[in-house]
Structure 1
Amino acid sequence: MSTTSSPGVLRRAVTQKRLLYGGIITLVVVAFAVLGPLFAPHGQNEIVGAPFSKDFGVFGTDYLGQDVLSRLMYGGQLILLISVLGTLLGMVVGTLIGVVAAYAGGWWDEVIMRLNDVTLAFPQILLALVVLTSVNDPKWWMIVLLIGLSHAPRVARLARGVALGIVSRDFVIAAEALGERRSRVILAEVLPNMNAPLLAEAGLRLTYSIGLVAGLGFLGFASDPNAADWGQMINENRLAMASQPWSVLAPVLVIGLFTIGTNLMADGIAQFSAKGGD
């Protein structure tokens, strides 16, 4: 078995400054999105003043006269939920594909990875648009599924590369010699030794997910067109960028902060992984 303890690895990983600062930024944005509706001064669809007024509240009003701050506080829950679930789905499916390909080897590896390469040819945003435009009433779980399936091939390629360096190690060979089932070898011996690179990849995938979900909202494919949505807010108010910039800049800044936070976390984990956990 591996001599590296997963809890020990994680404890040492959080000493990385990039990981620490990124985690703090990410948690602040998540807390803002989750707790925001509880403290919002107005309802997400409540008309409180004249359209595009800069004199109301903190960020003024939007194109309908709704409070930008309130809509900002309401607009993050679903977009973050979809991003996290889509990332988790992509990581699980992609890791499973990559590890199975590396462990099976031979022509199984070739077949699986060549099929994986074909799916990599489809741009994520284009695939999502093709599917969503063919559905009359897109549901939030469809976006989760699309994000997960679009991430999976990229995760699979990384997982296979990492797993190839593990499946030939002595503790894996010893487990096989003891008659352990292949599924148990994968779960107990291979996957625990892939924590650091997979966590780094998860941070990057989460960054791409939030950008993809926000982009779909900007293009009019928000999971709930009647609810506040950061991506949709940018599209709704973009024509008044010169006269009331906060109606656009506020959601852009929140998305940007979340992206910075998750990227710092991914970089911190990658640096830790490159140092071998020392």
Structure 2
Amino acid sequence: MRVGLVLTGLVLLVVVIGPFLAPHAHSDIIGAPFSPPSATALLGTDYLGEDVLSRVLAGGRSIVWISFVGTLVGVAVGAAIGMTAAYSGGVVDELLMRTMDVLRAFPPLVLILLLVSVARAESALMPLIVAIAWVPQVARVAYGAAKEVVGREFVESAEALGTPRMRIVRREILPNVMTPLMVDFGLRLTWSIGIVSAMSFLGVGLQPPAADWGLMIKENYQGLALQPWGVVVPVLCVAVFTFGTNLMTEGFARTVARVSPLEVTT
């Protein structure tokens, strides 16, 4: 887990301070296409003659914020749907979860590509598209976890006291399903990083002249034999970020597994 924290922290450090350390603007043409490393371009230039180092330092923000915001919204909405269905039961349960099952039939990447084909892949919409892809997956996890809680004595006690249903979901059920939701959030975040990168590589994510690690791989792979750093460095950045978040998630899951679950009551 510590290794994951260090790796993820390094990537986030690059994302935060990288644009201020870039020697050039990410869209400046500073030389011939696919020029080798030099004093003015430490990692050489890309397919247009832009500085690879500057684009790498500026290209992580999009992947980080789109992945994080999309995952956070997807987990929040999916958890709300799953807990509501589990607690309500009956027609509400059937309607919500059958709808989620239909959406779960589509693999997340396929669903994202379908949504992108309908809506433009603007940076403001991409987190929402990622979130929609995760909602049915998270809803099923939250539903399964909440089903084990709704019949507990402390929930029945709250109902007997006349506590509003939404307050019961928020104060009694949510704290008792938070641990699996946090583990699931870490897993979804790891997958989101890969999916957002894949979207840019497939040409349905951010578009030029935006600086983005996935987009850099797509733009420069044809010149890999001439100037590899335009592909190798963004690939390493994505790999380190994905590996770091994955290690953190696994470490958190192992920690949770060693701790006995506690009933949280109010």
- 3-state secondary structure, aligned to 1:140: coil
Whole-angstrom CA distance in 2 between matches of 1:58 and 1:169: 62
Instruction: Assess if the C-alpha contact under 8 Å between 2:116 and 2:129 holds in 1.
Output: no
- When the two structures are superposed, what TM-score results if normalisation uses the length of structure 1? 0.87
Which among 61, 81, 91 is matched to residue 75 of structure 2? 91
Aligned match of 2:226: 243
Is 1:130 the counterpart of 2:87? The answer is no
Q: Residues 185-204 of structure 1: matches in 2 within 5 Å?
A: 185-204=168-187
Which structure 1 segments of 5+ residues have no match? 1-17
Which among 194, 217, 224 is matched to residue 234 of structure 1? 217
Consecutive aligned runs of 4 or more in structure 1 exceeding 4 Å deviation: none
Is 1:264 the counterpart of 2:259? The answer is no
Cα shift readout 1:72-107 (whole Å, capped 9, x = no counterpart): 011111221111111111011100011111111234
Shift of 1:60: 1.8
Root mean square deviation of aligned Cα: 1.8
Is 1:213 the counterpart of 2:196? The answer is yes
> Percent identity among equivalent residues?
46
Whole-angstrom CA distance in 2 between matches of 1:159 and 1:259: 24
- 3-state secondary structure, aligned to 1:141: coil
Which among 154, 164, 170 is matched to residue 137 of structure 2? 154
Aligned-partner residue type, residue 27 of structure 1? G
- Greater mean alpha carbon deviation, residues 45-54 or residues 91-100: 45-54
Instruction: Assess if the C-alpha contact under 8 Å between 1:197 and 1:269 holds in 2.
Output: no
Which among 28, 31, 37 is matched to residue 49 of structure 1? 31
Q: Residues 64-83 of structure 1: matches in 2 within 5 Å?
A: 64-83=48-67
Whole-angstrom CA distance in 2 between matches of 1:231 and 1:95: 29
Shift of 1:134: 4.0
- How many residues align? The count is 259
Aligned-partner residue type, residue 31 of structure 2? G
Whole-angstrom CA distance in 1 between matches of 2:237 and 2:121: 25
Instruction: Assess if the C-alpha contact under 8 Å between 2:200 and 2:207 holds in 1.
Output: no
Whole-angstrom CA distance in 1 between matches of 2:153 and 2:195: 41
- Greater mean alpha carbon deviation, residues 29-38 or residues 102-111: 102-111
Instruction: Assess if the C-alpha contact under 8 Å between 1:96 and 1:156 holds in 2.
Output: yes
Instruction: Assess if the C-alpha contact under 8 Å between 1:196 and 1:272 holds in 2.
Output: no
Is 1:253 the counterpart of 2:232? The answer is no
Which structure 2 segments of 5+ residues have no match? 262-266
- 3-state secondary structure, aligned to 1:63: coil
Which among 121, 127, 136 is matched to residue 105 of structure 2? 121
Instruction: Assess if the C-alpha contact under 8 Å between 1:86 and 1:148 holds in 2.
Output: yes
